[in-house]
Amino acid sequence: MAVRWITGFLDSPGPEVEAFWVAVTGWELSARRDGGTFATLVPGDGDACLRVQVVGDGPARSHLDLHVDEVASAVARAVELGATVTVDRGDPVVLASPAGIVFCVVGWAGERRRPAPGRWAGGWHSVVDQWCLDVPEAVHAREVDFWAALTGWAVRPSDLPEFCHLERPEGMAVRLLVQRTGAAVAGVHVDFACDDVDAEVARHVGCGAVVVRRVPGDWTTLRDPAGREYCVTGRSPHPS
């Protein structure tokens, strides 16, 4: 199977937090769909890769949609590699990875243009460009193998031993980072890339985020108004 595009979903109990994500991304919220459940954050330049969903319960969380040419065969491949189908609506199909990370397989609608970084008043740039798979140590190696085989993306080491990333194809909007954690439960969170971490963090705090922890020179973990953690990182926001 070929993963043509990846969309990240911010799943929240209600829509109140969506204004925060509009502010920090600089993207516009689309008209709502499916009775108000779904909306898309639409970048000014490039194809959408971030959506919001009202799930009606907590905690606030995230999941990924993998866009493919043929859903049924991609689902079969995911199951062959160790995923479990939890909800089958034909398109989408909801699955869980071997470590329990929820993701959906959906049909590809031709997305191909990576969103351009936003430029802020102080002159720095930022963009949502990465999803981090947070995986307990006991199942980390199995999960890395699963995502590498499912996407067909090569695994690349990081400067830090607890991280590795999957090398995205040219034009793909988001990277996948895998983090080995001491937690008991696997999850996923979104990362921003920017060229001034301190300024970008201050901007997010001004929009309503709370700083959780700082790793000077590398990244800062924040919590959005719904309690969902995410990171602002010092990786270049400009496509390479």
Same domain assignment for residues 53 and 133: no
- Where among 107, 136, 169 does a domain terminate? 107
Domain boundary among 72, 107, 142: 107
225 and 124 in one domain? yes
Contacts of 189 (CB under 8 A, 6+ apart): 62, 131, 132, 134, 228, 229, 230, 231
Residues 6+ apart with CB under 8 A from 57: 13
In a domain, 62, yes or no: yes
Q: Do residues 143 and 190 both lie within one domain?
A: yes
Q: What is the pLDDT confidence band of residue 193, given thresholds at 50, 70 and 90?
A: very high
98 and 123 share one domain: no
Q: Residue 48 and residue 57: Cα distance in Å, rounded?
A: 25
Alpha-carbon distance of 227 to 229, in angstroms, equals 6
Residue 239 inside a domain? The answer is no
Q: Which two tokens stand for residue 197?
A: 């971490």
Query: Residues 146, 199: one domain?
Result: yes
The Cβ-side half-sphere exposure at 141, using a 13 Å CA radius, reads 1
For residue 98, whether the previous peptide bond is cis, meaning omega lies within 30 degrees of 0, is no
Mean pLDDT of 88-105: 97
- Whether 167 and 218 share a structural domain: yes
Does residue 98 sit in the same domain as residue 127? no
With beta carbons less than 8 A apart as the criterion, state whether 221 and 230 touch. yes
> Is residue 112 domain-resident?
no
Give the residue-averaged pLDDT of 209-228: 96
Give the model's confidence band at 240: pLDDT under 50 very low, under 70 low, under 90 confident, else very high.
low
CATH of the domain at 32: 3.10.180.10
For residue 56, the model assigns a pLDDT of: 93
One domain, residues 57 and 147 = no
pLDDT tens digits, 114-163? 999 999 999 999 999 999 999 999 999 999 999 999 999 999 999 899 99
Pair 148, 227 in one domain: yes
In a domain, 128, yes or no: yes
Q: Judge if 126 and 218 occupy the same domain.
A: yes
Residue 211 has pLDDT above 90, yes or no: yes
Taking all residues of the chain, what is their mean pLDDT, rounded to a whole number?
A: 96
79 vs 98: CA distance, rounded Å:
10
pLDDT at 212: 98
Residues 131 and 228 both lie in one domain: yes
**Domain total in the chain:** 2
Q: Does residue 224 share a domain with residue 181?
A: yes
CA distance linking residue 47 with residue 45, whole number of Å: 7
Both tokens of 49, joined, read 């890769």
Q: The domain containing residue 219 runs over which residues?
A: 118-233
Tell me the pLDDT band of 217, cut-offs 50, 70 and 90.
Answer: confident
189's enclosing H/E stretch is: strand 187-194
> Residue 174: inside a domain, yes or no?
yes
What type of residue sits at position 211? V
